[in-house]
Structure 1
């Protein structure tokens, strides 16, 4: 077929076939093959053919070939063609190569609104809100007029409570440019206000909309659901003219996330055509409520019912198996991911690394990490934390060093929790301090209570409890019970009674009576032979109706998870 088309003199047939083949992923490779044959036969590609080839490469995800095509575009002079350049820009944005995209954008002599929107959307999707909004302002000052998609792209960047004021400024621009009656803009505003935690603004926008479609209803239900306004979400759901699958899923997810599993299951049973997302919400709800055995049972039902499982199904249930260190279940689910073709997915792979690490199978975690063709920050964090969890300090710090060499990856607060924990396993106080300072100075990451707790553990190992106590105040965590518990634990290990008493008073003041405090203080006094104080603490526990709970653990027996209890 290709030979017959190549023998024709007109370029229309060739271009039409390339266009047709590039429409779908399954035939995109043929489009590229035809274009290659055309070039070998001396035919020149026109701008429309190039746009189609860029689409084919986007479908296939062939990065290196896209770069080769970019070189051809530069040599043939099509880089100044706004349609070709915009199509290529869109591919770079899709793959997260924003530096390439912005450079290409700067080379377009007269970018159109679509060019601007693509770059704005890219920065918005990558979380670079200020850059996205800066481009919106530039576009507004140019000779071009922004369209409604300019502002909906900008709104996707403003989905955190800290960006609420910026989001309202975008809302003002929507009104200024006359798009306030657009259903698309209205739906995006409802979604944005919901994600920013301003449900009242979302409800107001919903009521101000003259025309509403099913997306409008789903957006307002989602806004209430995301902010755990369960009654309002259910009320709106029952008001909907005709709920669709997304409507049902929003409500099921809302109920499951707050632990109302019975009502979530009831809605699921009433749903006309439940899909994998419907079942996933229930599994995620069980895992969040630490009802992991029920999550595993529900996953088995899903499997038996023949419901298609996706990356979110597997990542949720693998997290559940990790919580219980249920290795047999985890391994079985891993087999399911291989059979379903999801084992190479980054989300699933990261969950498997975490699960195997928590089950003490660090070699299997390494195997999964090595098998992934793509790795994101979550994947690297999972491996670093896995090494730290298993006491492999050297490997964790080496992995951190390797991660820093990866293009486009930047350590976040979770990365440094893993790194500092790893230092804590081997008592590397000096290294821990250097990493902590690097986190704040080099990466601009504000310390969290978890970072502070890791540092307290390290300082405690070095016997510097007073320095640890000062750090709590210096970092502003004097009202956080977690860090005082960490200090109390460090005092127990060091046997420092005075600082332990200060930490105990703080925990009790912040969190009320906690048997953890009494047990640790009793043990600390006992280690110093202060038996009268031990008796006083135990008497206080009796008066308050407290007793030391029996230690317990989960043990898998033929994939069941009975509790094994050890009483002292």
Structure 2
């Protein structure tokens, strides 16, 4: 029996299948071994490799859980769809007379990942101090991350300012808190202070800054960060390289983006996708398709759904209708990728911009899901541009009757009425927009 138990113990220390786990669990119950808290905790820890929900169920069946048991269950609950339920376990832990440790708080902090959990985060911070646990570098950095994810920059910075010791990870956590909430300049000031303190930024910190630079079109800052990466001798890994490609593409420097791509020693599908999209939106649709054909020759990289979105955008911008249709077919036929709503939207837009309104309507009629506002607006725009005015008016009016709140549908209908000198109808549509507080998106033309 001892040999069998030791074999089962070793098996649960590895990665058992669910069937094996059930058999071991049954043996532990029938043999009475599960009454041992040590054995129960070992089984509990093993269950985390299978399913967090399974761990929670097993925990509820324990007669004598200890702090280790609670910590495992709290960590598992943080990975379920109801993470805040872990606070009920925390309350149970306190009522049983256990004293939480640093791991308890860090696992609970993982459950506070949105603005609604801000109060929980502050309460945990207070409890951590109340239970006499000093804020270590580990727990302080976890708190920084959590305050940031809850949107409480003030609490995060106050904590950061009071930290007696900071690592490059804690500096990076605070910098990324600023960056994640659009505070690029404050993040950069902190980045400079970290640099002066003699610490080097982590890749996560650099990527956070680069991503916001790409989003906000901050070319000068992006270039400066690129210069820092080169001067520091950092390898242009897949994440850093892709972030730089994104910046240069968004700022129209497609040549520099291609140079970065070429200098990357290893590329993943995201790197290829980023450059394909960059080429397409900067008017180099043919080059984007050439790059896609080159990508198909790479044995270690396989196109995904995002890749085909970039390819279809490239076909739309260059008017290559037949190519676009063929690529759309290739998705499911050659790569097993089922088209999403966005892919169907690209095909409708591709046909619409080429004046093939009937083909676009046929795509909408036969697609396996309901079209969204983007698809309808693409079709309305095609109707108006290519002389299907009556059809465009009818569809725009139908679109509005459905209660859609996309400004493009209203603008297209208003413009269609204006072209036909139906100014009373123009006034009516514009009044509807005002009453429903629907605003025209700045920077978008009447063709949306």
Q: TM-score, normalised by structure 1?
A: 0.61
Contact 1:465 1:491 in 2 (8 A): yes
What does the per-residue CA deviation read over 1:47-88, in whole Å, with 9 as the maximum and x for residues that have no partner?
xxxxxxxxxxxxxxxxxxxxxxxxxxxxxxxxxxxxxxxxxx
**Structure 2: how far apart are the matches of 1:292 and 1:334?**
16
SS in 2 for 1:354: helix
Comparing 317-326 and 241-250, the one that deviates more: 241-250
**Structure 2: how far apart are the matches of 1:186 and 1:363?**
55
What does the per-residue CA deviation read over 1:358-400, in whole Å, with 9 as the maximum and x for residues that have no partner?
1122222222222222222322222222222223223323333
2:264 is aligned with 1:372:
yes
**Structure 2: how far apart are the matches of 1:508 and 1:411?**
40
Contact 1:357 1:390 in 2 (8 A): yes
What does the per-residue CA deviation read over 1:426-460, in whole Å, with 9 as the maximum and x for residues that have no partner?
23333333333443455444544433332221131
2:410 aligned residue: 518
2:53 aligned residue: 168
**Structure 2: how far apart are the matches of 1:170 and 1:376?**
35
- Any residues of structure 2 matched to 1:180-329 within 5 Å, and which? 181=65, 187=71, 189-207=73-91, 212-225=100-113, 228-240=116-128, 241=131, 242=133, 243-304=135-196, 306-329=198-221
Contact 1:221 1:251 in 2 (8 A): yes
**Structure 2: how far apart are the matches of 1:180 and 1:477?**
53
By relative contact order (CA 8 Å, sep 6+), the higher-ranking structure is 2
Question: Cα offset for 1:523?
Answer: 3.2
**Contiguous gaps of at least 5 residues in structure 2:** 1-6, 29-38
Corresponding pairs, count: 417
SS in 2 for 1:223: coil
Given the superposition, is the C-alpha separation of residues 510 and 293 from structure 1 closer, same or farther in structure 2, using an over 3 Å criterion?
A: farther
Question: Cα offset for 1:218?
Answer: 0.5
What does the per-residue CA deviation read over 1:24-56, in whole Å, with 9 as the maximum and x for residues that have no partner?
xxxxxxxxxxxxxxxxxxxxxxxxxxxxxxxxx
Contact 1:194 1:226 in 2 (8 A): no
Question: Cα offset for 1:234?
Answer: 2.2
Q: TM-score, normalised by structure 2?
A: 0.75
**Contiguous gaps of at least 5 residues in structure 1:** 1-109, 121-132, 159-165, 553-568
2:369 is aligned with 1:476:
yes
Question: Cα offset for 1:252?
Answer: 3.2
- Any residues of structure 2 matched to 1:417-428 within 5 Å, and which? 417-428=309-320
What does the per-residue CA deviation read over 1:545-566, in whole Å, with 9 as the maximum and x for residues that have no partner?
77757649xxxxxxxxxxxxxx
**Structure 2: how far apart are the matches of 1:446 and 1:188?**
38
Question: Cα offset for 1:335?
Answer: 0.7
SS in 2 for 1:229: helix
Contact 1:456 1:468 in 2 (8 A): yes
Given the superposition, is the C-alpha separation of residues 366 and 195 from structure 1 closer, same or farther in structure 2, using an over 3 Å criterion?
A: farther
Question: Cα offset for 1:352?
Answer: 0.8
